[in-house]
Chains A and B, each alone.
Chain A
Amino acid sequence: METVGFLLDGIFTSLQWFNLALLIFGCLIGLFVGAMPGLGSVNGVAILIPITFIIPPTAAIIFLAAVYYGAMYGGAISSVMLGIPGASTAVATVFDGRPLAVKGEAMTALTAAAVGSFVGGTVSVILFTLFAPPLAEVALRFNAPETFALMVMAFATFVGLGGDDVPKTIFSILIGLALSTIGLDLITGKPRLIFFNIPGFLHGINFLVLAIGIYGIGEMLWTLEETKGKVQMSKLSVNMKEVGRAFGALKKTIMAMNIGSFLGFFVGILPAAGATPASLMSYGITKQLSKNSKEFGEGVPAGVVAPECANNSASTGSMLPMLTLGIPGSPTTAILLGGMILWGLTPGPLLFTQEPEFVWGLIGSLYIANFFTLVLNIALIPAFLMVLRIPFAILAPVIFVLCVTGGYAPTQSLHDVWLMLLFGFAGYILRKLDYPVAPAVLSIVLGPLAEKALRQSLILSDGSMGIFFDVSEKPIAAVIMYIAIVLLIMPAFGPLYRRLFKKKQTA
């Protein structure tokens, strides 16, 4: 019952005029960012976070969560209309969305995507409301060793479940952590890694510099290369009859909605996974379980609903560990988590007791944002189609302007802008060679927190690493650590398993 009271308070918080205005504005920006090929929630949030410094944290998180949310809806628009995913989270939406558009049923695809997103979002936010308070209560008992173990597990999930090249993934994690150690050592106070004695390094590398570099500059370079500034759009007729027919077609997609909502939520909670794998998995499983699985890929609404439901659900799911444990569930939430630190909050379970307005305002805003985004999405489809016609050669410099100003604003030093350019260029090259970049962003955010937790734990244990592995002393930390170890060594068994399995098949 207590939860209901908090939730109502949260909904009222998000309905205050200032918060509501930011929420609607955020949804619109999110839809726009999601719809533009090459830009996704993570780019939008990374580029926009510097402008939230002057508003209260609750309003800031409501705004950014709405951007995150809207982007999940918006991604479908360009997947369907252009055949290029608006964001990586909408890759699976292209599989059936594009064929539907080619068949002349673009409106069905767009409606299916919007409704799928709404259902996924609603189910996941209800699950979120149910799970978050008890999880936060458990997490309140966590001390430094448990926190450190959780962070190790977050890194390990990238290795175990990320699916990328293992040495490259570990490299990405380590470079993020190494970058986070630049600046003054938090215990001895000694300067570390001050390259060429440039004073700019003394204040460390702000995670935003890396995030904007990689997700702003790097992503733009990547998209410029992919599209070369040109795109091809499908035709669309918008009238109420079409929308009505599209809703009729949704009856057959209930299974896809169920799979997408629940699978998406739980995949979203995992740090390495996030919305992209959730949507791909949801599409795959729905296809396998469907009676008419052969029609998938040729344009069925269920093929659009499944991934769209899952990506919205996963985006909410990824906020669960962010709020309750202080561990982000996706690159976007990693940036949000970094934002919380900049706003002066301590991410983690204490938020529930110390900053209830912030936490419940965010949760309440998800319910409201979900509704508004659905309405705005369907109502503004013609407007978004106009937006999609903006040539990339015009959009790109605007994004660059936002990146440069956004990189400068937090610390007001050009040093950071140079670093941002460097990271952007390096991120672009590394991404082309299949180095995953998300782990680096996650680890630069978590790095200082992990270091603090590690050193506090070691002070507790008089310098013994045993504190993380002793089941009788610290059972939770030990169990999490062992799970992390399993995740870390899992990829090593992949080829072995495949070899055994293949032998069995051939035998």
Chain B
Amino acid sequence: MSITNKITVKRAEIAVAVILALCSIALMIKSSENRITWNAEENMGAGFLPFYLSLGMLICTILTIIKFVLKRSPQSKDDTPFIDAVAFKFIAVTIISLVVLVLAIGYLGIYFSLIFFLAFYLRYFSEKSIAFITIFAITTPILTFLFFEWMLKIPLPQGVSEPLFYPVYDFMYGGFSFAVKMIFIILTVLLPTALVFLTTRFIK
């Protein structure tokens, strides 16, 4: 029996309810670091609202658990797998690659991490050619850069790759005319595309 068959909806329901109950208790404990009392004489303590909100959450999860025990919720009677094996592979790989992506962003910076993320993801899930994947994985970060850094003026994290971008910034904020900049933008998108296209042709 595979893992995905063992995790039934029923088991997932109770496991999640228990985890949420524990989280609610943790929130209550955390809230009580501040004063949780409130009466007419003194103002509401900073912990009052979070404490009672998490108490409410705890009560709701307990009700969900009671409904489960009494078999009143549809999930409590559902023995089908929570997720089928094929979908599990999709979801697991997606989540792991996203976690690796965000880890990599912190170190490598977003643009280079995106190249690896896109290349891996497309190679793994789609049946596209290597040429397509390469073009796609390179142009998407370029477009992201142009959109965020140039149009919106929002700097995205660059990690260790930051020095590589200095010449680009010099160009962006240098005294070049709008037309020159536009030509540069078009070239930055087209050039890698053309290069990859030609290389794959050449290799074939």
Binding site for B on A (CB under 8 A): 51, 53-54, 165, 167-168, 170-171, 174-175, 177-178, 181-182, 185, 187-188, 190, 192-193, 195, 217, 220-221, 224-225, 228-229, 391, 393-394, 396-398, 400-401, 404-405, 408-409, 412, 414, 417-418, 421, 425, 428-430, 432-434, 451, 455, 458, 462-464
Residue of B nearest to A221 (CB): B91
Which residues of B in the span 1-26 have a Cβ within 8 Å of any Cβ on A?
9, 12-13, 16, 20
Known A178-B54, A188-B46: A229·B40 in contact at CB below 8 Å: no
Taking a contact as CB atoms closer than 8 A, the residue among A170, A393, A401, A463 that contacts B125 in the complex is A393
Whether A192 lies near B60 (C-beta < 8 A) is no
Q: Does B102 contact A (CB under 8 A)?
A: yes
Which of B151-159, B163-171, B188-196 lies at the binding interface?
B151-159
Residues in A with CB closer than 8 Å to B38 are 463
In whole angstroms, how far apart are the Cα atoms of A217 and B97 in the complex?
13
Separation in Å of the A51 CB from the closest CB of chain B?
6
- Are A463 and B118 touching (Cβ within 8 A)? no
Distance in angstroms from A156 CB to nearest chain B CB is 14
Instruction: Assess A181 versus B98: contact at CB under 8 Å? Given A229-B125, A434-B75, A458-B44.
Output: no
Q: In this assembly, does B204 line the interface, its C-beta being within 8 Å of a C-beta of chain A?
A: no
Question: Chain B nearest CB: distance from A447 CB in Å?
Answer: 9
- B152: contacting residue among A51, A192, A417, CB under 8 A: A51
Which residues on B sit within 8 Å (CB–CB) of A185?
A: 34, 46
**For the complex, what is the distance from the CA of A397 to the CA of B47, rounded to whole Å?**
40
Q: Report the separation of the CA atoms of residues A429 and B82 in the bound assembly, to the nearest whole angstrom.
A: 10
**CA of A192 to CA of B12 in the docked complex: distance in angstroms?**
31
Q: A228-B86, A404-B105 are in contact. Are A174 and B60 (CB under 8 A)?
A: yes
Asked if B71 is an interface residue, CB under 8 A from chain A, the answer is no
Asked if B91 contacts A192 (CB within 8 A), the reply is no
Q: Cβ of A409 and Cβ of B44 under 8 Å apart?
A: no
**Nearest opposing residue in chain A for B153, CB measure:** A54
Which residues B49-67 have CB closer than 8 A to chain A? Answer: 49-50, 53-54, 56-57, 60-61, 63-64, 67
B77 within 8 Å of A by Cβ?
no
- Alpha-carbon distance A398/B53, docked complex (angstroms): 37
Contact between A193 and B50, CB atoms less than 8 A apart:
yes
Q: Are A228 and B90 in contact (CB under 8 A)?
A: yes
- CA–CA, A110 and B44, complex, Å: 56
Q: What is the CA–CA distance of A417 and B99 in the complex, to the nearest angstrom?
A: 10
Q: Which residues of B contact A428 (CB under 8 A)?
A: 91
CB A206 to nearest CB in B, in angstroms, measures: 15
Chain B, Cβ-Cβ closest to A182? B50
Question: Closest Cβ of chain A: how far from B28's Cβ, in Å?
Answer: 10
Question: Are A54 and B125 in contact (CB-based, < 8 A)?
Answer: no
Q: Pick from B105, B140, B152: contact of A398, CB below 8 A.
A: B140
A residues within 8 A CB of B155? 412
Q: Are the CB atoms of B114 and A401 closer together than 8 Å? A: yes
State whether B30 touches A225 (Cβ < 8 A). no
Known contacts being A190-B46, A409-B154, A458-B44, is A394 close to B61, with CB within 8 Å? no
Q: Which residues of A contact B82 (CB under 8 A)?
A: 432
Bound-complex Cα distance A398 to B106 (A)? 20
Bound CA–CA A190/B33 (angstroms): 10
Q: Smallest CB–CB gap between A27 and chain B, Å?
A: 20
Known contacts A178-B54, A397-B117; A193/B40 CB under 8 A: no
The residues in B between 124 and 154 inclusive whose CB is less than 8 angstroms from any CB of A are: 125-126, 128, 136, 140, 144, 147-148, 151-154
The residue on B at minimum CB distance from A195 is: B30
With both chains docked as a complex, state the minimum distance between the C-beta of A467 and any C-beta of chain B, in angstroms.
Answer: 12
- Which residues in B have some Cβ–Cβ distance to A below 8 Å? 9, 12-13, 16, 20, 27, 30-31, 34, 38-41, 43-47, 49-50, 53-54, 56-57, 60-61, 63-64, 67, 73-75, 82-83, 86-87, 90-91, 94-95, 98-99, 101-102, 105-106, 110, 114, 117-118, 121-122, 125-126, 128, 136, 140, 144, 147-148, 151-157
Interface pair B56/A397, CB less than 8 Å apart: no
Closest partner residue, chain B, to A169 (CB atom): B60
Interface of chain A, helix or strand or loop or mixed? helix
CB-CB under 8 A for A433 and B12, given A178-B50, A178-B57, A412-B154: yes
Which residue in B49, B56, B148 is a CB contact (below 8 Å) of A181?
A: B49
Q: What B residues does A455 contact at CB under 8 A? A: 44
Q: Considering the chains assembled together, what is the distance between the CA atoms of A343 and B86 in angstroms?
A: 43
Identify the closest chain B residue to A176 (Cβ): B53
Query: Top 5 closest A-B pairs, CB basis?
Result: A463-B40, A393-B125, A171-B60, A167-B63, A185-B46
Q: For residue A51, which residues in chain B have a CB less than 8 angstroms away from its CB? A: 147, 152
Chain A nearest Cβ from B198, distance in angstroms: 23
Is there an interface contact between B73 and A193, defined as CB atoms closer than 8 Å? no
Contact A433 B75 (CB under 8 A): yes
Give the chain B neighbours of A408 by CB distance below 8 A.
Answer: 110, 156-157
CB pair B20–A171 under 8 Å, yes or no, is yes
Cβ contact within 8 Å between B101 and A404: yes
Min CB distance A285 to B, Å, is 27
Q: Which residues of A contact B31 (CB under 8 A)?
A: 192-193
A167-B64 contact, Cβ under 8 Å, with A229-B125, A404-B105, A451-B49: yes
Closest A residue, CB atoms, query B148: A405
Cβ of B63 to closest chain A Cβ, rounded Å: 4
Contacts A193-B30, A221-B91 given: A414-B157 contact, CB under 8 Å? yes
Task: Give every chain A residue within 8 A of B30 (Cβ-Cβ).
Answer: 193, 195
With A188-B43, A394-B122, A397-B118 known to touch, is A217 a contact of B98 (CB < 8 Å)? Answer: yes
Q: Name the A residues within 8 Å of B157 (CB-CB).
A: 408, 414
